[in-house]
Amino acid sequence: MSSKQKKNLTLLTESQLSSRAFKEEAYNFYKELRKSQPLFPLSLGTLGEGWLITRYEDTIHLLKNEKLKKNYENVFTAKEKRPVLLKNEEPLTKHMLNSDPPDHNRLRTLVQKAFTHRMILQLEDKIQHIADSLLDKVQSNKFMNLVDDYAFPLPIIVISEMLGIPLEDRQKFRVWSQAIIDFSDAPERLQENDHLLGEFVEYLEYLVRKKRSEPTEDVISALIQAESEGTQLSTEELYSMIMLLIVAGHETTVNLITNMTYALMCHHDQLEKLRQQPDLMNSAIEEALRFHSPVELTTIRWTAEPFILHGQEIKRKDVIIISLASANRDEKIFPNADIFDIERKNNRHIAFGHGSHFCLGAQLARLEAKIAISTLLRRCPNIQIKGEKEQIKWKGNFLMRALEELPLSF
């Protein structure tokens, strides 16, 4: 998106927000919006029209605003035209990210026992073993694509083992996950994504049948038990929750590991500081979450009741999309917001959201990133970007801030 295009822009569309060009210039664009148009018009095609939110304080307020709903059934009446969903997406929409209280509380309670502090800490040795095993495969090559060789496989192995998913099936989730987080409204992409989601639903049906007949000590078996009790989880909710845990259980962490490594490679003073002071790792992870937020834009919220924001009426059925990436660069909250500083104090970033939908797996993502980055820097002391830094490109994607690839030599 050129500066001339940005200057003449009066409405953002899904295709623009999803484009690689937008990702490349997003931070400059957000900065302009925070100053002059913190409530910016957008259109998501069949999903509706509404507003992009870019300021931190507005974000905090709206993420807890009960007038905004994640489940469109709590906004649209039976006679009103509902947002169009892909045919094969319907069985995958009944999860806690798309729900409001009291359903949200019930669904979250069912899975949060797998993400307790104690349960996460028990995974530490396993995550360390996975990190070392992945680096063993590439160490002698003195080269790797961080995304394919390390950042993707590590969290997908972890969440798959937690859920009890067979090793041979894990690679399929990369393609299926992309279909789920891709908001494209291009006809050919819609058709392709619908086909992929159909494959995902068929796989979930197979997986649940297998777990019913051969239950084990894993999260999916526990969810099936909750469904069999009849009052806690419906079959649609079961499929949807498994899908959410698979997708959310690795997508954010892939981006956190990749984006943090990229930030360190681009800021050698901070990389050297972290090498000299390893106890700064936790602070560095929080800064990486703020600086290149893994989830750039929130999923959709619909307005159930009209309200006023910045003198503008937000009407019923209006779509609200919040830029976590922009909120985390808000100069009024973060001094020198565009500077990557691993010693940043009072880092109140909201990379994992805020309020009732705060990311359930935040602690697991932090632990995976801590082990992954620490192990990488320890075992590959001379690591650097292979080739020109300018050749590294952000992926065109609506929700995520993700790199296409990150080639590294060491």
Quote the pLDDT of residue 258.
98
Please compute the mean of the pLDDT values over residues 194-208 and round it to a whole number: 91
Quote the pLDDT of residue 185.
64
Full domain range(s) for residue 58: 3-409
Quote the pLDDT of residue 387.
93
> What's the token pair of residue 95?
């999860």
Strand stretches in 54-184, DSSP E:
68-69, 143-145
- Dump pLDDT digits (tens) for 305-330: 999 999 999 999 999 999 999 999 99
Please compute the mean of the pLDDT values over residues 191-196 and round it to a whole number: 87
Helices 235-266, 281-291: axis angle to 10 degrees equals 100
CA atoms of 278 and 53, how far apart (whole Å): 36
Quote the pLDDT of residue 111.
87
> Does the structure show a pLDDT above 70 at 250?
yes
Quote the pLDDT of residue 88.
74
CA atoms of 247 and 292, how far apart (whole Å): 20
Identify the CA nearest to 25 among candidates 53, 1, 59, 58.
1
> Does the structure show a pLDDT above 60 at 267?
yes
Report whether 245 contacts 108 (CB < 8 A): no
Q: How confident is the model at residue 85 (pLDDT cuts 50, 70, 90)?
A: low
Note the pTM of the prediction, 2 decimals: 0.93
Quote the pLDDT of residue 4.
47
Quote the pLDDT of residue 225.
85
The CATH number linked to 176 is 1.10.630.10
Q: Tell me how far apart the terminal alpha carbons of the chain are, to the nearest angstrom.
A: 34
Domains of the chain: total: 1
Identify the CA nearest to 306 among candidates 51, 136, 24.
51
Q: How confident is the model at residue 187 (pLDDT cuts 50, 70, 90)?
A: confident
Place of tokens 């820097």: 377
Place of tokens 């669904």: 107
